[in-house]
Structure 1
C-alpha cells in the first residue's frame, strides 16, 4: 500500500454526492439539510493498493542498477511513502443535478446567524428537509418543497448549461404557485411558517430568474397580506422574526425606492421591533421614513397648492427623521462601525467585520439620501411660493449641504464595494478568485446590495466614474453568480421598461463550470 496524497476530508455522504462539505463536527451542514445522520469523516491519510506498481518499479530499478547493489528499505520507503495502517480507497458516485442544485442554493442563499444574531433564512434547510422527509402532502409543506426545488434549479440553471434543468425549474415553480394558492385558501394553512417561507422563496425565484415586470415585485402585496394575517405572533419566535425581516425589507425597499405607500401599520412595527438591535432599529426608521415621505410623494404633482404650513411641517419632520438616522449611526457598537483602510491597490476603502454589516450600512445610506432629496424638493417648492430672502437663503444653503452629505454617503458606499463584492478582505488584502475563477462572495450578499446600489446610480447624484463602476460590478457579479436581476438593474436607468436578459450560458465554460 502507498500513500495517495492528501484527499478530500469531507464526510462520506458529501463525497458520495460530490458536493462541498463544511466538515463541521459532530455533523456537517449538508447532512443536516438532507435530514440524514452524518456518516463521519475519514482520516487525512488514504491508501490504495499499488503493490503491482511497486513491484514493477523495484524490478525496473533493480535491472538498471549494477549487479550486487540493492535498494535499501529506507530508500524504498521514502520512494513509495509506505505506511503501516492501510485504508481502502473510498469510491464515490455522482449525485443528481437536483441534489447539487439544492446544496448550491442553501450554500449561497441561506446564512446562519452572524454578528449580532443577524442571519438570513438559516432555518430553511431544516424546514425543507422536514417537509421532504415526512412526505407531507398538506398545501403549505408541499408548496415550500416545490418552491425550494424550483428556485434551486433556477439558480443552478443560470450557472451551468444542463439540458432540462430550466424546464424543471419552471415546471416546479408553476406547481408551487398552485399549492401556495391552495394553502392561502385554507385559514389554518395560510398562517403556517411553510406558507410564508414559500412566498419568500418565490420572491427569490423572481429575481434570480429575472421575471420582474418592471421594478415592482409581484409578491409585495402577498407579503403585506400574510404579514397582517399572521399578526404579532410571528415575531415571537426566531423563525417567524427571520421571515418577517426578509419580507419587511423587501416591502420597504420597494415602497421607498419606487415611492409607493405601505398599508401596514407603522406604529405596530415600531411597537414590536427592538430598537436596541441595530438591524431592527434601522427597520423602525425605514418604516417611519416610508410613512413620512408617502404624503409629500403622493402630492408631488400639486405641492404648490399644499400650503406653506404643511410644507414647513414636512420639512421639520424630515429634519427630525434625519437626526434620528444620524443618532442610529452614532449609537452603534464598535463591532458595527466601518473600518477605514488602504487596499492593496492603494485606494482608500471601507471594510467591515461582517458582510451583513456592510449591507445594513448601504441601506442606511440609501435611506438618508432619500430623506435629503425629499427635503431639497420641499425647500424648492417653499422658496418658489414664499417671497422671502431668508427662506431663499435657507433653501440654497440646505441644498448645498444636502448635496455634500449625499455625495459623501455615495462615496462611502462606493468605497465599500470592493469588500462587499469579495475583492478584498478586512485588511484590504486581495482575495483570490475561486477555483472556478469567480469571486468568493455568497450570492445572497450581492443580492442584498442590489437595491441600495441601484438607488445610487439612479438618483442622479453619483459622478460618472462611480456610476460606471457600480454598474460594471453589478453586471459582472450578477453574471458570475447567476442573478439576472443584477444584470437588469445594471442596465436600467429607471425610465421605461426593464431590459430583458438572455440566457446566461455564455460564461460557464470560461469559469470552468461543468457542462453537460
Structure 2
C-alpha cells in the first residue's frame, strides 16, 4: 500500500509534488493560492507560525569559534558597478562564528550534510519562506515589481551571488525583526560574500545576459535598505545605478523571460525613486527603454503611470542646471514649463482614468478613516496632529497612490518655481487663471502622503509597507520644515522614531 503523501493539503488535492516548505508551501505561493498547512495526525491539519523555530535552528544551540575570515570587497570606478563596502563595516566582521545554520548559508561540506544531503536545501527553503512571510504584503496576490520573489523561489538557482544575496536579505530581515545580533553579524558576512560573487560573475562577459545575475544585483541592492548593511546614505542608490547599468549592457533584446520582465519593472521603480532623491534623469527614462516598457507582456494600471512619472527627474535636473550649464533665459524657462504642463496633464489624466475604472468596477481606491482604526500605528504614535488616514483597497493600490501624490508634489513645486522665474524674466507675465500653484495644493499632497503611512504600518503590509514609507516621509518632512509647518514636522519625527524599529534605514 503506497504511503500517504506528506505534502500540504492543496498540493495533494491538485495532485502535484509539494516542496513541503514550512510554514507554507512555496508551490501554493507561486500559484497564488493559500496554503492550509500540513497533516500532523490522521484527520488533522497542522499550520503553525515557525518563525521563532527557524531562527532557533539557524542560530543553533552551539556556537563554535572560527578563524577570522578575510572578505574581499570589490570596489569599482564611479562609472561602473560600485559595490563599495566601508573598512569600518568590514572590521565589524572580525570575530565571526559558525553555527549549525551556517551549513545552509555557506554550503560547507560537513559530516552532517553528507549524511543528509537534502538538509541544506530544506533549511534554505525554510529560511527564505520565513523571510517572504515577513517581507511581502498579505492582502495581495499581484505585487507588481515585487513579484520576482515568487518566481525565484520556484526555480533552481545556479549563481552563487543570487543564493548569497537571498540569504543575506533573509538573515538581515529576520535578524532585524528579532533584534538578533548573531543573525545580523552573519548577514553582514554573507553580504560581503555576495558582493565578491557578484564581482566575479560580472567580470565574465558570458554572464551579462543571465537573468539570475540581474536578480542577484537587485536583491543585494535591497539589502542596503537595512542599517546593518547600508552604512552610508547612497548605498542603495549605488545598487540602483548598478541595476540600470547591467540592464543597459544587456540590451532590450535580452528581455525575453518572465523573470527578466519582472526585474526590469522592479528596476524601473527603484530608478524612479532614487532619481527623485538625486534629481537626475535615470537611464530607464530614455525613450527607447520607455517604448520597451509599453510593449511588455505584463501590462497593468501602473504601466502608463511609470511611463509618465519616470520623465519627472529629468525635468528637475533641467531646472537645477538653469543658471549653470544651461543659460537662465526666458526661452529655456518657457520650454521647461511647457514640458512640465504636458507631464502634469498626462499624470492627472492617468489618475482620473484609473479612479473612474475602479468606480465602474464597483470599488473605491481608498477611503478616509479615523486614525484609531489603524491599531498598529495608533498604538505606536500617539501624536494626533494628523487624525485621519487612508484605508486602501489593496497594497498595490496604496503604493501607486502614494507614488502619484509624491510625483505631483514634486512636479507642482517645480512649476511654482518656474512661475516665479518666468515672472522675474518677464514682469508682465502671470500664470493663467486656474494654472497657478497654491500653497494649499502642495500641503494637500504632503498630507495625503502622511495619510498613507498608517496603512503601510499595518501587519497586512509587512516589511514592504515599511519600505514604502521612506520616500513619502522624506518628501513630507522636507516640505513641512521648509514651509514652517512645525507641528506636522514633529508628527513626521514621531513616525521616524517610533515606527522604524525593524532595522530599516531610509535612503
Which TM class, normalised by the smaller chain length? 0.5 to 0.7
- Does the CA-based 8 Å contact 2:23-2:37 persist in structure 1? no
Hey, what does 2:199 align to over in structure 1? Answer: 181
Hey, what does 2:420 align to over in structure 1? Answer: 380
1:256 match: secondary structure = helix
**Relative to structure 1, is the Cα distance of residues 469 and 356 closer, same or farther in structure 2, using a 3 angstrom cutoff?**
farther
* TM-score, structure 1 normalization: 0.67
- Does the CA-based 8 Å contact 2:202-2:208 persist in structure 1? yes
Quote the offset at 1:368 in angstroms: 0.9
Of 266, 281, 303, 1:246 maps to 266
Of 495, 499, 502, 1:477 maps to 499
CA deviation string 1:108-143 (max 9, x = no partner): 33569947x4434434355356446xxx4xxxx111
Hey, what does 1:342 align to over in structure 2? Answer: 369
Task: State how far apart, in whole Å, the 2-side matches of 1:462 and 1:210 are.
Answer: 34
- Does the CA-based 8 Å contact 1:349-1:415 persist in structure 2? yes
CA deviation string 1:399-426 (max 9, x = no partner): 5x3422212222222233322221xxxx
Task: State how far apart, in whole Å, the 2-side matches of 1:44 and 1:413 are.
Answer: 51
**Relative to structure 1, is the Cα distance of residues 158 and 319 closer, same or farther in structure 2, using a 3 angstrom cutoff?**
same
Hey, what does 1:122 align to over in structure 2? Answer: 147
1:441 match: secondary structure = helix
TM alignment of 1:9-88, pairs within 5 A: 20-21=23-24, 28-29=28-29, 40-42=38-40
Hey, what does 1:456 align to over in structure 2? Answer: 476
Quote the offset at 1:277 in angstroms: 2.8
Hey, what does 1:413 align to over in structure 2? Answer: 449
2:238 match: secondary structure = coil
CA deviation string 1:373-422 (max 9, x = no partner): 1111122222223232xx2x4399865x3422212222222233322221
Structure number with greater Rg is: 1
TM alignment of 1:422-501, pairs within 5 A: 422=458, 439-459=459-479, 460-461=482-483, 463-479=485-501, 482-486=502-506
CA deviation string 1:485-510 (max 9, x = no partner): 14xx6xxxxxxxxxxxxxxxxxxxxx
Hey, what does 1:104 align to over in structure 2? Answer: 130
Quote the offset at 1:194 in angstroms: 0.8
1:269 match: secondary structure = helix
Quote the offset at 1:243 in angstroms: 0.9
Of 186, 199, 217, 1:168 maps to 186
Of 291, 303, 308, 2:314 maps to 291
CA deviation string 1:196-227 (max 9, x = no partner): 11111111111123515224622132112111
Hey, what does 1:435 align to over in structure 2? Answer: none
**Relative to structure 1, is the Cα distance of residues 451 and 189 closer, same or farther in structure 2, using a 3 angstrom cutoff?**
same
Task: State how far apart, in whole Å, the 1-side matches of 2:201 and 2:277 are.
Answer: 31
**Relative to structure 1, is the Cα distance of residues 224 and 21 closer, same or farther in structure 2, using a 3 angstrom cutoff?**
closer
- Does the CA-based 8 Å contact 1:144-1:198 persist in structure 2? yes
